[in-house]
Amino acid sequence: MARVKGGVLAQKRRKNILARAKGYRGVRSKKERYAHEALLHAGKYAFAHRRDKKTDFRQLWIVRLNAVIRESGHPSYSVFINKLKKNGILLDRKVLATVAAEHPEIFTRIAEQVA
């Protein structure tokens, strides 16, 4: 069998790695070995932080809801959510936080139903 030289494919692979590392600082955007290492770490962080983003937003909605709930006269967020569930109002935190921020009059009606 004839020998196959891999120069073209290897060059393409290196070029692709450096193209994906464009914008990285220092040697991480210039040298193939360091760029590859940086891309591996970036991929791990991107995967983990996609999950963290969901937690961060949930915490943000809870903080916003807690502020509005306490202004409306309820003792706390946890008591309010418990009463929502017992009354059969199936709105999640994202929807409640959006309604509280953009349509306060609707949120007050929801809060009155809970009380």
Residues 11-17 have a mean pLDDT of 96
Cα Rg, the chain, nearest whole Å: 26
Structural domains in the chain, CATH included, are 7-114 (1.10.1900.20)
- 103: tokens are 């349509």
Locate 1 and state its tokens. 């069998």
**What is the reported pLDDT for 70?**
92
Average pLDDT (14-43) is 97
Say what the pTM is: 0.72
Residue 115 pLDDT > 80, yes or no?
Answer: no
What percentage of the chain has pLDDT greater than the value 70? 100
Q: Which two tokens stand for residue 22?
A: 């464009």
Q: Supply the pLDDT for residue 73.
A: 87
Q: End-to-end distance of the chain based on CA atoms, in angstroms?
A: 83
CA distance 6 to 60: 52
50-63, pLDDT tens digit by residue? 999 999 999 999 99
Does position 86 have pLDDT exceeding 90, yes or no? yes
Looking at every residue in the chain, the average pLDDT score rounds to 94
Would you say 39 and 21 are in contact if contact means Cβ atoms under 8 Å apart? yes
